[in-house]
Amino acid sequence: MSYVAPLKDMLFAINALAGLEHVSQLPECADATPETVEAVLEEHARFCSEVIAPLNRSGDQEPSYWRDGNVITSKGFKEAFKAFAEAGWQGIQHPVDYGGQGLPKLVATPCIEMLNAANLSFALCPLLSDGAIEALMTAGTDAQKQIYLEKLVSGIWTGTMNLTEPQAGSDLAQVRTRAVPQGDGTFKIFGTKIFITYGDHDMAENIVHLVLARTPDAPEGVKGISLFVVPKFLVNADGSPGDRNDVHCVSIEHKLGIKASPTAVLQFGDHGGAIGTLVGTENRGLEYMFIMMNAARFAVGMQGVGVAERAYQKAVIFAKDRTQSRDLSGSAGPVAIIHHPDVRRMLMSMRSQIEAARGLAYVTAAASDIGHHHADVATRKASQAFYEFLVPIVKGWSTEMSIEVASTGVQIHGGMGFIEETGAAQLYRDARILTIYEGTTAIQANDLIGRKTARDGGAVAKDIIAQVQATQRQLAASADADLIAIGKQLAIGAEALNDVVDFVVANLKSDIKGVFAGSVAYLKLAGIVLGGWQMGRAALISSEKLALGEGDARFYKAKIGTARFFADHVLVQADALRISVVRGSAGVMALSEDQF
């Protein structure tokens, strides 16, 4: 089965939940009319389904490979990427000034989801280019912007992030790559970088590496890291690729999943030094790299939604096709397994979590657009704070969800799910990296506690909880039994989240390890409650549509039923997670190191 984008649900999330009408009123977003957005999504859905999705399984079976210092990508990837770039999809959210389409992040977000659902390995290449574009637009010199941005936005060149080294994984204070000034504004780069996604490939004319390194007099730790542009090929005066730079792929990794995506070991400076130029100000490299990482972290959250959606679609088709056992209420013979209650439970678990994560992510994307483009300073500031609070949740919760959903997809397939030919196993394997790269779930959770909750005394968190409670009151005031039940669980969830925010703020200084022991539980709690908030909003909107007799009644009834399931089976976990955070640290820290 190929992938079919859930356009109806995406458009509902964009319009009803994320408020496209408000985003399209922003001066820089005026082109994002409902008609234009629907046309863009329909065309992107067609492209992903017809061109990208068919390469997913073949790329897993015949991965990219390294030969004589070069990486050859999986069959069909080079041609597909050329078509992707020529269609303008790399530039969908980037400025028109550099050849992009200049559409809002809210419109780019479902496109990112589609691409990753179609083929996660393929989608990683444009994801890294997006991050490089963001960093250069923010901190690059005028010369760097002129040289690189149009080529990156067009997809003629691609970009990478070079952070990790053999001794420096998540702890970037350990970075040792050296940058030696040459006196002419350039630097020679020496060192080894590992886990570099699409660090080498044959799909583009040039690869623009953004590299963290230390200058000779840099202070120790993260305060002494600078960011450099180091292209695979030096750039001629006319903008064309010139001589080969001294950066070489010496191997690629053999991985559990995303096998078609080449994960490179890059060696800088084995033959005299790789030539690079400084991005922004010396020793502010980590700050600039976080621009890339925040863009990438949100996109990885969308990878989670995309992979989960693909797993759900595959599971639904199998459940409708596979016959096994008689119906519990009686049947002449074996029935399709979708008749069995536990299969329904599993499918609803998959569906409801995907819809919750999608709704939350799209709302987050809209906040980013408002935070960048709204005329009112206070509105911009509040929306940007909302966006920044949500990014670690979108990344951490959505990716943890994707592993669970992909695993459930294997379970629905039964024994055939464990067999590679069904494709369910590949999605499970591919999803497993999502909670690790671009910052593990624990790193997202630490960010949520330290930077996003404790730093402002929980002010942004409390404001968001107030919005959740406003939705809960609307649900409670309804005469509909389903909406009342959803509201009841949302109220309990909001209270649990509020208690945890209070606990974090009150205890961080006095018991820092005790608070951080519950960090991942806090992140999951926030994801479940805020995802439940979007499901509650979706149920309210759907109920209004049904009352007015507008639109597709089956669609809106399904929305309410899915929200009810989420409340009864997922949102009910909120109070247990609260207990884990508030009372669970004693067990986490109970054993000494020598007792393990």
Q: Report the distance separating Cα 204 and Cα 86, nearest Å.
A: 12
**Residue 452 half-sphere exposure toward CB, CA atoms < 13 A:** 24
Tokens of 389: 């609070």
498 contact partners, CB below 8 Å, separation of at least 6: 462, 465
CB 135 within 8 A of CB 291: yes
Q: Report the distance separating Cα 198 and Cα 503, nearest Å.
A: 42
Tokens of 88: 């303008």
Beta strands in 318-391 (DSSP E): none
Q: Element (H or E) spanning 132, and its range?
A: helix 120-139
Longest pairwise C-alpha distance within the chain:
85
Q: Report the distance separating Cα 383 and Cα 389, nearest Å.
A: 10
Residues paired with 404 in a beta bridge:
none
554 contact partners, CB below 8 Å, separation of at least 6: none
Residues paired with 413 in a beta bridge:
none
Helices (H), 441-518: 441-449, 459-476, 481-507, 512-516
Counts for the chain of helices (H) and strands (E), in that order: 21, 12
Per-residue DSSP letter, 220: S
Tokens of 341: 């209650």
Q: Report the distance separating Cα 101 and Cα 70, nearest Å.
A: 32
> 337: helix, coil or strand?
helix
CB 19 within 8 A of CB 369: no
CA-angle at 223, arms to 217 and 229, nearest 5° = 75
Q: Report the distance separating Cα 302 and Cα 306, nearest Å.
A: 6
Beta strands in 170-291 (DSSP E): 178-181, 186-197, 206-213, 226-231, 233-235, 241-244, 247-252, 263-268, 274-279
Q: Report the distance separating Cα 383 and Cα 370, nearest Å.
A: 6
Per annotation, catalytic residue among 113, 165, 438, 495: 438
Instruction: Tell me if residue 62 is catalytic.
Output: no
Q: What positions carry a catalytic annotation?
A: 438
